[in-house]
């Protein structure tokens, strides 16, 4: 608790930003601003809550999520880095990299008329080098206002180029996935991970999911609009510096097989992930920086 008190003394803003002990004893940042409220856990630099004033929560969180220092949080916006899915070179390495299960220290907190900006940082260490032998510095910036704005900056501190994948694995809260339509990906090629990684082309127009879905859309900078009919709203996910978009819902059987996900929660979530993955793996020269941003807004 002393560490939480120190952080609160250094970064807290009375009535607006509070650092406290969240679920599982994990440290979190709570934001209560005129435009919106939010929660960010330092474990994984994980945004677990975002709610604009007068709106329903925008992010889905599983009631079964494990707030465990050794586990990833289920829901919200997990930060995936430096690989997506299993490590191609080491099957024993953690799924989706180490960023989502590592504590990101707070670098700064600022406020303005537009909202609150929280900046967290992660750098290479003995622990990261054991699974990914490269020097890097990552910065994750969260802006809480009328929209949720997130920026993932990666600097290559090595003397040679590095290759990495990344994603902001955004879980959107929807009223009923069976009444939810997705628009903005027509004509794009995607890898269908449910169908043995077959490559397919998204037909014209908006679409609705009807079963387990795990698709990596390639070479797409497009904004995706989610028509959440059951909640009478639209959720808009726009991005920069990202060439991949992942669409995911576990549906019934996969949900039951996941220990940290409720059996009946799948109708109320949809992942629209801002990413650079698969064919869109990034190559970063020595000393160079890459910036990926994602903005989630109620349309």
The gap between the terminal CA atoms of the chain, to the nearest Å, is 40
273 is catalytic: yes
Among candidate residues 163, 171, 190, the one with its CA nearest the CA of residue 83: 163
114 is catalytic: no
What are the tens digits of pLDDT across the range 158-216? 999 999 999 999 999 999 999 999 999 999 999 999 999 999 999 999 999 999 999 99
- Torsion angle in degrees (nearest 10) through CA of 296, 39, 95, 154: 70
Stated pTM of the model: 0.97
The enclosing domain of 78 has a CATH number of: 2.70.98.10
With cut-offs at 50, 70 and 90, classify the pLDDT of residue 114.
confident
- How many domains is the chain built from? 1
Catalytic residue among 39, 169, 265, 268: 169
Structural domain for 20, as ranges: 2-298
Q: Count of alpha carbons within 13 Å of 281, Cβ hemisphere only?
A: 13
Catalytic residue among 39, 149, 166, 273: 273
**Residue 91's pLDDT is what?**
86
With cut-offs at 50, 70 and 90, classify the pLDDT of residue 2.
low
What are the tens digits of pLDDT across the range 224-273? 999 999 999 999 999 999 999 999 999 999 999 999 999 999 999 999 99
Among candidate residues 129, 131, 130, the one with its CA nearest the CA of residue 87: 131
């Amino acid at each position: 608790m002393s560490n939480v008190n120190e952080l609160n003394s250094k970064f807290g803003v009375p009535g607006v930003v509070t650092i406290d002990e969240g679920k599982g004893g994990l440290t979190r940042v709570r934001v209560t601003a005129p435009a919106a409220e939010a929660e960010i856990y330092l474990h994984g630099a994980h945004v677990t809550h975002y709610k604009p004033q007068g709106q329903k929560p925008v992010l889905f969180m599983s009631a079964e999520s494990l707030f465990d220092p050794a586990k990833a949080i289920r829901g919200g916006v997990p930060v995936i880095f430096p690989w997506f899915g299993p490590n191609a070179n080491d099957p024993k390495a953690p799924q989706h990299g180490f960023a989502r299960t590592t504590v990101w220290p707070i670098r700064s907190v600022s406020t303005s008329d537009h909202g609150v900006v929280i900046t967290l940082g992660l750098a290479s260490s003995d622990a990261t080098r054991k699974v990914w032998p490269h020097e890097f510095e990552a910065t994750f910036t969260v802006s809480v206002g009328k929209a949720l704005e997130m920026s993932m900056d990666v600097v290559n501190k090595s003397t040679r180029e590095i290759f990495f994948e990344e994603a902001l694995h955004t879980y959107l809260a929807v009223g009923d996935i069976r009444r939810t339509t997705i628009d903005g990906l027509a004509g794009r090629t995607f890898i269908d991970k449910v169908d043995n990684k077959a490559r397919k082309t998204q037909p014209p127009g908006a679409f609705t999911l009807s079963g387990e879905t795990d698709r990596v859309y390639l070479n797409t900078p497009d904004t995706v609009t989610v028509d959440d009919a059951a909640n009478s709203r639209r959720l808009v996910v726009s991005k920069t510096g990202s060439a991949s978009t992942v669409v995911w819902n576990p549906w019934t059987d996969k949900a039951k097989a996941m220990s940290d996900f409720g059996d009946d929660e799948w109708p109320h979530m949809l992942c629209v992930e801002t990413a650079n993955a698969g064919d869109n793996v990034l190559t970063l020269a020595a000393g160079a920086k890459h910036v990926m941003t994602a903005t989630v807004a109620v349309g």
